[in-house]
Chains A and B, each alone.
Chain A
Amino acid sequence: MSVETSVGTERWVRRAGVFHRDRGDRIVALRPDDDNAVVLDATAAAMWRRLNQGRTLGELAASLAEQFGVAAQDIEADVEAGLLALHEAGLVTRR
């Protein structure tokens, strides 16, 4: 099953062992097996921060929607794209 088809139903969580610094609107993260640190912008940082516990795409979108005062369905596509980018960067994994 590809990441794209499973992203909506599976639970996602931060990858273990990632070293990071968080200033609220930006996160610098370093994977245990990669020498290139990744810089997350405010939106990606908000997503990654919430994945300290396992969440589905819907749960993540709902949590972000509540913070930013928008409807969850309005941002779900963007959240899915963000989640895939975090997965590609090796910062999140399926639980």
Chain B
Amino acid sequence: MTTAAADLLPLAEPSARLLETVASHGLLGSLHEWPKEPLAVPEFDVLLAEARRQRLVGLLTRSAVDGRLPLTPEQELAVDEAWTEAMRWNVHLERATVRMVDELGAQGIETRNLKGVAAAHLDYPDPSWRQSSDIDLLVRPDQIDAAARHLADHGFTRPVAEPRPGFDRRFGKGATFVAETGFELDLHRTFAMGPFGLTIRIEDLWADAQPFRVAGHQLTALVPELRLVHACFHTALGDRVPRLVPQRDIAQLVLSGQVDPLAVRDLARRWGCEVVLAAAIRRSWRSLAIADATALSEWARKYQPSPEEGRALAAYHKDGAKYAELSWLALKTLPLTERLTFGWSLAFPSSGRLGGRELTLQQRVQRAARGWSGSKRRGSEPPAEETA
């Protein structure tokens, strides 16, 4: 075990660090320290609320059951209640996942389970350690329209509409749908919007797969290397403050020995997303205070992004016109023949296709210009060292 001191500096204030400690539970190489006594009421309440928000109740409960997190009897009751509530939601989501996969399969639509259900069953010692918030299914680009139609025909609503017909299939990350029962289903074409999303080779996502079983039903996940890359995208390009669950997914996959480090790096090089992987793995190692040095963590620690990579990564963490800026940055990655269609779809979306907002022609031109000028202006900024 090697200590990479620079990567283990605390990132956050004590309450956030305690949540990171919870997120690290069960990782033998983590240097996080656990409290010796039960937390005082206010600190415990904050921890439980944050664990609920970040979908870490499974790990919080496990750490208490395993005797790492000391609790008062009242706190034990609160954790029991939170665990039961979280797991009720998860078994419902899991059943809904199986039903959706079966329904789409009956329409000839192939799926791959992403993130939650697949990670819980394939990458963790027990599925109760890994909570899900929604259902994520990868669908082939030429089947995404049919999948969306099927969902719409079965009571799902789509809060943000497709900018123009065909956009999802050609350029989009995917689309979010909401079931009548309240859960969200994300149909993915690829892992991310923006420049890093459009350089992903879709054929790589479908080249191979890993089957797994849930309650007697067979589902299909991505292979471990792709699951790791997806967790890195989720960490580095998702929320402005990276969530701990995908960071833990990264640690699970890297430390389990399931992934071939050279295959992962080769994939990242071909997709032009090495900076995404490096930033996410570094962040995961720091948040979870992992002392173990692996081939991938060492590569990530030493990786030096180019100025262009740094700018592209930074764009995902800007406030304000993030969508527009990412879209314009994405233009650069497209073949010339596709740029016009992509740009036109975003600048001039179909009538009524902006989440129900109608825009005048003048507003559409202004919107397009804002995205373009924002992209050009930020293009001259120095690269961010690490924003994920």
- Residue tally, chain A, CB below 8 Å to B: 18
* A-binding segment of B7-15, B210-218, B345-353, B371-379: B210-218
**Those of A23-81 within 8 Å (CB) of chain B:** 23-26, 28-30, 32, 35, 37, 39
A30, B88: Cα distance in complex, Å: 8
- B46: CB under 8 A from chain A? no
User: Once the chains bind, are B84 and A28 in contact (CB under 8 Å)?
Assistant: yes
A24, B88: Cα distance in complex, Å: 16
Question: Given A28-B87, A28-B88, A37-B88, does the pair A19, B65 have CB atoms closer than 8 Å?
Answer: no
State how many angstroms separate the Cβ of A16 from the closest Cβ of chain B: 5
Produce 1/0 per residue, B25-69, CB < 8 A to A: 000000000000000000000000000000000000110010000
- B83: CB under 8 A from chain A? yes
Interface of A is mostly: loop
A20, B88: Cα distance in complex, Å: 9
In the complex, chain A residues whose CB is within 8 Å of the CB of B128: 21-23
A26, B61: Cα distance in complex, Å: 12
A26, B65: Cα distance in complex, Å: 11
A23, B64: Cα distance in complex, Å: 11
A19, B92: Cα distance in complex, Å: 8
User: Once the chains bind, are A32 and B91 in contact (CB under 8 Å)?
Assistant: no
Q: Which residue in chain A gives the minimum CB-CB distance to B131?
A: A21
In the complex, chain A residues whose CB is within 8 Å of the CB of B94: 19, 30
User: 9 tightest CB-CB pairs across the interface, nearest first?
Assistant: A28-B87, A21-B87, A30-B91, A19-B91, A21-B128, A37-B88, A19-B215, A19-B94, A19-B95
User: Known pairs A24-B65, A29-B91, A32-B215. 4 more at Cβ < 8 A?
Assistant: A21-B127, A23-B65, A25-B65, A28-B87
Binding site for B on A (CB under 8 A): 16-26, 28-30, 32, 35, 37, 39
